[in-house]
């Protein structure tokens, strides 16, 4: 088994300091959005890096920080995914696992982490060549799964995920050195404007929102249910939204949302009768493996942030028969 953590970084070399000051700040992004092997590093008109995404999609991703791809998975493929999801949600054994996170009030399943390790079916989904090749194209690198989970919002009781940049947490609490990771959210149920869909702030990925407060030990035990640290200050959010607005990622089941690791996002509570379930996969560049956490605390568990099991994801053609 390989071990992917490198020695503790010098805080003086931390390019994205956060949770060390009592004043929030918007810092410049020091990493590319699109990683390219060309000398200029620029996408020429009508051209782009080789891969599934055309040049216009790459430019939109670079400008906005995300892409919304309708009908990415077929109805038959989503049916197979939801059948496996139902099996996992109905399993008492699964609910007792440490990877299972329940709602702050009640015992409804909120998230199931490391789903690609718990479920062979979702492990195959994570290796689907349509997904992996996009990640490889955007990051210009072989990739591994940094994090996977199912996010669930049952009707009436599904609580919000407050505004945040994933990279801020992954950098501070996990030691991810650079913004060279990409998140995929596959809609397993219809996401309407009223059942807590993902909301993104266009253009917010171009700056780093440094947060206030000092990270408590074992913060993940609370933050996965309700986050209090690593939350951007209201004045920073107000500025980012004033500049970029908010885009709500609604769509039919099978829609795919691809977003940069530093794009500001969140979702409201689901007070509708209609449940909302999304598969969340994070692909990280093999050249961006985790260091020691920048907060100086012990690393979060492997099921939240992959350190040891950094196997390269080999793109595969997946047959979506029912599990």
As given in the structure block, the two tokens for residue 158 are 């599904």
- What angle in degrees, to the nearest 10, is found between the helix axes of 129-139 and 55-64? 70
The Cα-based distances of 262 to 24, 176, 211, 231, 255 in angstroms read 16, 12, 13, 13, 21
**Burial of 74: CB neighbours in 10 Å, binned 0-12, 13-18, 19+:** exposed
Give ∠ CA 252-168-109 in degrees, rounded to 5: 45
Q: Which residues pair with 21 in a beta bridge?
A: 212
As given in the structure block, the two tokens for residue 80 are 């197979």
Q: Is 90 helix (H, G, I), strand (E, B) or coil?
A: helix
Higher pLDDT: 170 or 47? It is 170
Q: What is the pLDDT of residue 222?
A: 53
Question: What band does 260 get if pLDDT is binned at 50, 70 and 90?
Answer: very high
Q: What is the pLDDT of residue 48?
A: 59
**What integer is the mean pLDDT of 107-120?**
88
**Each residue's pLDDT tens digit, 126-170:** 999 999 999 999 999 999 999 999 998 888 888 888 999 999 999
Asked which of 37-51, 69-83, 222-236 is least confident by mean pLDDT, the reply is 37-51
* Helix residue spans in 4-128 (DSSP H): 55-64, 75-90, 92-95, 115-118, 120-126
Which of 65-69, 85-89, 293-297 has the highest average model confidence (pLDDT)?
Answer: 65-69
Q: What is the pLDDT of residue 111?
A: 87
Question: What band does 228 get if pLDDT is binned at 50, 70 and 90?
Answer: low
* R_g (Cα) of the chain, nearest Å: 19
pLDDT of residue 92 exceeding 70: yes
Question: What band does 220 get if pLDDT is binned at 50, 70 and 90?
Answer: low
Q: What is the pLDDT of residue 173?
A: 93
**Each residue's pLDDT tens digit, 177-201:** 999 999 999 999 999 999 999 999 9
**What integer is the mean pLDDT of 233-245?**
97
pLDDT of residue 4 exceeding 50: no
Closest listed residue to residue 248, CA positions, set 68, 1, 4 = 68
**What integer is the mean pLDDT of 219-248?**
80
Tally the C-alpha atoms within 13 A of residue 1's C-alpha that lie toward its C-beta: 6
Backbone angles phi, psi at 5, to 5 degrees: -90, 135
> pTM score, two decimals?
0.90
- As a whole-number percent, the residues of the chain with pLDDT over 90 amount to 73
The Cα-based distances of 158 to 102, 105, 152, 174 in angstroms read 10, 10, 7, 27
Strands across the sheet containing 256-260: 66-69, 256-260, 181-187, 276-285, 143-153, 109-113, 100-102
Q: What is the pLDDT of residue 213?
A: 82
Residue identified by tokens 């955007």 is 138
Q: How far apart are CA 76 and CA 254, in angstroms?
A: 10
Domain ranges of the chain: 53-288
In which element (H, E) is residue 168 found? helix 166-172
**What integer is the mean pLDDT of 56-68?**
98
Residue identified by tokens 């945040």 is 164
Q: Which class is domain 53-288? A: mainly beta
The Cα-based distances of 167 to 55, 69, 232, 243, 284 in angstroms read 25, 22, 12, 20, 11
């Amino acid at each position: 088994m390989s071990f992917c953590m490198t020695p503790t970084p010098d805080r003086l070399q931390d390019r994205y300091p956060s949770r060390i000051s009592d004043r929030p700040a918007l810092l410049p992004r020091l990493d590319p959005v699109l990683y390219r092997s060309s000398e200029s590093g620029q996408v020429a008109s009508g051209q782009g890096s080789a891969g599934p995404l055309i040049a216009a999609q790459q430019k939109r991703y670079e400008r906005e920080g995300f892409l919304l791809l309708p009908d990415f998975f077929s109805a038959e493929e989503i049916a197979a995914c939801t059948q496996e999801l139902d099996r996992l949600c109905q399993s008492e054994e699964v609910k007792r696992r440490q990877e299972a996170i329940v709602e702050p009030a009640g015992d409804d399943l909120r998230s199931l982490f490391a789903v690609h390790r718990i479920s062979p079916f979702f492990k195959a989904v994570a290796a689907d060549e349509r997904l992996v090749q996009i990640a490889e194209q955007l990051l210009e690198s072989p990739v591994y799964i940094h994090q996977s989970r199912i996010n669930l919002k049952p009707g009436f009781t599904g609580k919000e995920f407050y505004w945040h940049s994933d990279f801020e947490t992954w950098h501070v609490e996990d030691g991810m050195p650079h913004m060279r990771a990409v998140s995929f959210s596959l809609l397993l149920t219809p996401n309407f404007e009223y059942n807590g869909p993902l909301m993104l702030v266009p253009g917010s990925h171009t700056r780093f929102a440094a947060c206030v407060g000092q990270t408590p030990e074992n913060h993940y035990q609370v933050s996965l249910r309700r986050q209090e640290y690593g939350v951007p200050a209201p004045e920073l959010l107000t500025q980012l939204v004033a500049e970029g607005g908010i885009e709500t990622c609604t769509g039919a089941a099978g829609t795919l949302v691809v977003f940069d690791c530093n794009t500001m996002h969140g979702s409201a509570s689901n007070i509708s009768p209609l449940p909302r379930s999304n598969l969340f996969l994070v692909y990280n560049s093999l050249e961006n493996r985790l260091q020691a956490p920048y907060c100086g605390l012990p690393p979060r568990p492997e099921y939240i942030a992959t350190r040891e099991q950094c196997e390269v994801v080999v793109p595969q053609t997946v047959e979506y028969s029912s599990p």
